[in-house]
Chains A and B, each alone.
Chain A
């Protein structure tokens, strides 16, 4: 399974901003709304427990959203 963690919309994301600034400097135009998050990959026996894992440890619900994806 994969968990994608990203900064909540509206939160200051300096890493996303830094990447958004760097791309045009390398010749890549037409890029907007860059956000930088984290990928966590794991094998779980009981996938129903994933949301709880995300709420308690893998993401900080105050500042991050998470998405659970099949690998």
Chain B
């Protein structure tokens, strides 16, 4: 099972994502300028500051050549995981609902947070249990998830919220404590916290590994 991890100018956590993916399968870095997804089974859009967050977070990266291929891949049902800046890029690309606004405190915060698994019957959370708490670090300036009221209602009604910050844990002011949402089809998932930084007992919690294991289980089964 092979993961492809995108790299834009300014990506920071792509190598971290690659290391995390390599704990459950193989992983390749895919350069933003290429159109070739190299036949990977799942794609990760990583964290960082693509294009310096210029204009708007994720606004420029979404037009990279590799993103055209990604959009096709997603439309065909391929699993796509967007982490932090990756979540922002996927929202800008219209692959995920809503948008990310500046944290209510206007400051960058790096902190271990507790998340609650809302659904365990998805390709991204099948290795978790419903209601389980995951300890995963979050580090961002622009992570307040927002959707206009009708869109938010639809997202909730469709069960597209997969992860929420546990009560009191959010520092960014996200609507309804949303930490991660997927698209209607359920194959594209974005979250602000960084599961790739919760995979090694030497550096902290290993709860993040469950997301990668879920993707491997599901993507392995797709062939």
Contact = CB atoms under 8 A, between A and B. Distances in A.
Given A58-B55, A60-B56, A15 B148 contact: no
Contacts of A14: 101-106, 144, 173
Interface in A1-39: 11-12, 14-15, 18, 38
Nearest to A57: B59
Interface size class of chain B, counting residues whose CB lies under 8 Å from the partner chain: 10 to 19
B99 interface: yes
A62 B104 contact: no
A18 B101 contact: no
Nearest to A56: B63
B146 A63 contact: yes
Nearest to B148: A62
Contacts of A62: 98-99, 147-148
A57 B55 contact: yes
Interface in B86-130: 92, 98-99, 101-106
B63 A12 contact: no
B173 A12 contact: yes
Contact of B101 (A12, A38, A58): A12
A18 B106 contact: yes
Nearest to A62: B99
A63 to B, nearest CB: 5
Nearest to B103: A14
Nearest to A64: B56
A57 B55 CA distance: 9
Interface string A27-71: 000000000001000000000000000000110101100000000
Contact of A15 (B55, B60, B106): B106
Contacts of A38: 55
B57 to A, nearest CB: 10
Nearest to B144: A12
Interface of B: 55-56, 59-60, 63, 92, 98-99, 101-106, 144, 146-148, 173
Interface of A: 11-12, 14-15, 18, 38, 57-58, 60, 62-63
Given A12-B173, A14-B102, A14-B104, 12 more contacts: A12-B101, A12-B146, A14-B101, A14-B106, A15-B106, A38-B55, A57-B63, A58-B55, A60-B99, A62-B98, A63-B101, A63-B146
19 contacts: A12-B101, A12-B144, A12-B173, A14-B101, A14-B103, A14-B104, A14-B106, A14-B173, A15-B106, A18-B106, A58-B55, A60-B56, A60-B59, A60-B99, A62-B98, A62-B99, A62-B148, A63-B99, A63-B101
The 7 closest A-B pairs by CB, nearest first: A63-B99, A62-B99, A14-B106, A14-B104, A14-B102, A18-B106, A60-B56
